[in-house]
Amino acid sequence: MKQIKTWIASVLLVVNATLAWAQESRPVVVELFTSQGCSSCPPADAFLRELAGRDDVIALALHVDYWDYIGWKDVFARTENTARQKAYATVAGRRSIYTPQMVVGGLHDVVGTHPRDVEDLIRKDRNRASPIKLSAARKGNQLRLEASTSAPFSPPLDVQLVRLRPNASVTVNRGENAGKILDYHNIVTDWQVIARWDGRAPLQITQDISGTEPVVVILQHPGPGAIEAALRLR
């Protein structure tokens, strides 16, 4: 009986370790909506730098354009980023958007200058189970993407390809941050929906890519909604 109990305990340890590894191996996507024209944003940009150095987080800086009118045009601003932030607000039933805002896992939003709250949401999202196994390999100018799931999705997930500029420094000459040299990390330069996948069959995609910029793949419910899986290739 003692040997049986010992064996069961060993099996449980292995199972628990496997589950823990599965949870830890799924990085949590943190999106920061920021602007060089916003005086409240530099501390959030600095915090994103810390998140960008972690293996358990995919940190993305999405520069918006709605502060450009106050005297400084954000050199990384994209109207698509503003549209994405507005879409999150619509899903959440909010009428306004702001910077610096972080969205964690596609589900939870928080002020980007509240690190403790962000960390709580990262832990919460990491514990959210996902039925998806996602892998990708990059060879030259091609990306090979594969995914499988134990449950189909309705409506289908958006399969998204994101390109990043790892870092950059900008001297701001006008506006609320005039005279400052600001450092940025994981700047989103392109964001495309390359497929939609319902999970009824394994996903296999070969996508042409160019340049040496890092690649992030995100599988997300439309809306945008919850992010079910993500990975990065540096």
Q: Does position 23 have pLDDT exceeding 50, yes or no?
A: no
- Domain boundaries of the chain, sorted by first residue: 26-233
**Residue 199 backbone class (left: φ over 0; alpha: ψ -120 to 50; beta: rest):** left
pLDDT in tens, 182-226: 999 999 999 999 999 999 999 999 999 999 999 999 999 999 999
Nearest Cα to Cα of residue 63 among 232, 186, 217: 186
Looking at the predicted structure, is the pLDDT value of residue 14 above 50? no
Confidence check: pLDDT of 125 > 90: yes
pTM for this one? Answer: 0.88
Reported confidence tier of residue 25, pLDDT bands at 50, 70, 90 = low
SS3 per-residue string spanning 135-178: EEEEECCEEEEEEEECCCCCCCEEEEEEEEEEEEEEECCCCCCC
Residue 162: count other Cβ atoms within 10 Å of its Cβ: 23
Give the pLDDT of residue 151: 92
**Local confidence band at 234 (pLDDT 50, 70, 90 cut-offs):** confident
Listed range (3-7, 46-50, 68-72) with the worst mean pLDDT: 3-7
Tell me the mean pLDDT in the region 162-186. 97
Q: What is the pLDDT of residue 19?
A: 32
- Percent of the chain at pLDDT exceeding 70: 89
What does the pLDDT read at residue 18?
A: 30
Mean pLDDT of the chain: 90
pLDDT tens digits for range 78-104: 999 999 999 999 999 999 999 999 999
